[in-house]
Amino acid sequence: MSVQVGYRKQVLLGIIFLIIIFAVSEFALRAYEIFNPPCNYIDNDVFQNETFLTKSIICIDSTNIQYETAPFQKLKPNQHFSTININSDGFRGPELDITDKKYRIFFLGGSSAFGMGSTSDNTTIPSLLEQKFHENDFSNIEIINAGVGGTISFEEKLLAENNLMDFNPELFIIYDGGNDVRYRITDTETLLKQESDYEFKFGDYPFYRTPFVITKILNNLKQQDIESGPTYNYPDFAKTSVESSIKEQVIKNYIDNWKQFCQDSTLNNVKTIIVLQPILGTSETKLFPNDLKIMSAPDVKDELEMLEKISNNLYQLNDSCYATYDLRNVFDNVNKPIFYDQIHVSDFGNELIANKIYENILPKISNDLK
């Protein structure tokens, strides 16, 4: 009998010991993440009014977002962090009810549309745009954030064609251009061959950090040893200038992608508006020390040139798309920090963009709702 009791005590003590080890490691890891956030951008002037804790959480949340990569990149559903919530349909923001009779707008783009660096779901461009409509008695308008970090126009087009039509949208707003000129991907067939099952995965544990760290460590090791991960070789952005042939192909691809999509969506009774986004250097505004450092990269001039040429060719979309707007100069005469890197902006920048889009599209939306 005493032997049996002794054995039970050992098992119980072993379980308690494991729980303590797990709790200590979890606490240590959370503390390490908070005090050593892996994002240099949070030291930018645009976050100067945020607390250290808020900046750390913004960084940690953005680095923990999970994606699906086949057949094209999109967000994994049901992800919930302090500043970012991905609903069960894979969109940032609240759950959708497609049975509601609303004027439904999908807002597409890369991480700028998604709101990377935003302090909450409510300070992204699509959310601020929806709030603007609601403040002005357009309560029936619903704007869904379908932005996905790292995507170019080709991938956004695939997302809309394959995933979004089922939600009965009235309108697509495309807010992009920055990733196309930065990633300058000309071989979209290679992009589609990325493998979706490349990552180790220990499951989804929203309240525990340890499984995520184990996953990251194993994936980092696998990336070093195996060449069969994502197969597209992105250019070394900050070290090279861009060949003229690549520039021309990037511009052509962008215009062709949205021309075809606008034509197809019109056949499905869905309208499309193209909004060319600003990047650092497109507006006549004061440049701060961090801005000047970013602007010194050799390829920035090429990217600004490509974005300008895309702007000059937007007229080619006039017959196919509902409207096109060039927001490259939206920050003219704004004398405070806006960009925290070449593409992403502060909550204040998001608000200026949302206000400008609202101003541009209000007449068309009002006409549609008559």
* Spatial separation of the C-alpha atoms in residues 145 and 152, rounded to whole Å: 16
User: In the prediction, which pLDDT does 212 show?
Assistant: 61
**Residue 186 — very low, low, confident or very high, per pLDDT cuts 50/70/90?**
confident
Do residue 148 and residue 284 come from a single domain? yes
Name the pLDDT band for 56 (thresholds 50, 70, 90): very high
pTM: 0.85
Average pLDDT of span 319-323: 97
Domain total in the chain: 3
Non-local CB neighbours of 320 within 8 Å, separated by 6+ positions = 258, 259, 262, 263, 266
Model confidence at 43, in pLDDT bands (50, 70, 90)?
Answer: confident
244 with 328, same domain: the answer is yes
pLDDT at 72 over 90: no
User: Which position has the higher pLDDT, 333 or 188?
Assistant: 333
pLDDT at 207: 54
The proportion of the chain whose per-residue pLDDT surpasses 70, expressed as a percent, equals 82
- pLDDT of 349 > 60? The answer is yes
- CATH number of the CATH domain containing 348: 3.40.50.1110
| Residue bearing the bigger pLDDT, 129 or 64 | 129
List pLDDT tens digits, range 214-244: 565 565 555 444 333 333 344 444 445 678 8
Q: Taking Cα atoms as reference points, which of 277, 311, 279 lies closest to residue 295?
A: 279
- Answer yes or no: do 143 and 288 share one domain: yes
The verdict on 213 and 164 lying in the same domain is: no
The pLDDT assigned to 99 comes to 83
Residue 50 lies in a domain: no
pLDDT at 337 over 80: yes
Residues 331 and 184 in one domain: yes
Q: What is the pLDDT of residue 352?
A: 98
**pLDDT value of position 362:** 97
Task: Please state, in angstroms and rounded to a whole number, the distance separating the CA atoms of residues 87 and 76.
Answer: 9
Q: Are residues 142 and 255 in the same domain?
A: yes
Same domain assignment for residues 220 and 286: no
- Whether 161 is covered by a domain: the verdict is yes
Picking from 355, 358, 346, the residue whose alpha carbon sits closest to that of residue 112 is 346
**Mean pLDDT estimate for the chain:** 86
* Residue 357 pLDDT greater than 50, yes or no: yes
- The residue with greater pLDDT, 209 or 319, is 319
- The reply to whether 167 and 305 lie within a common domain is yes
- Computed on alpha carbons and rounded to an integer, the radius of gyration of the chain in Å comes to 23
Amino acid code (one letter) for 115: G
Assess if residue 59 is contained within a domain.
no
Q: Are residues 86 and 180 in the same domain?
A: yes
pLDDT at 271 over 60: yes
- Give the per-residue pLDDT at 33: 66
Q: What is the dihedral of CA 325, 327, 330, 331, to 10 degrees?
A: 180
Residue 325 and residue 351 in one domain: yes
Residue 238: predicted pLDDT: 45
> Which of the pair, 298 or 133, is modelled with greater confidence?
133
List 175's β-bridge partners, or say none: 109, 275
Residue type, position 37, single letter: P
146 and 27 in one domain? no
Residue 30 pLDDT class (50, 70, 90 cuts): low
Is residue 35's pLDDT more than 60?
Answer: yes
pLDDT, mean of residues 185-207: 57
Q: Which domain holds residue 177?
A: 65-194+234-368
Query: What pLDDT sits at residue 216?
Result: 56
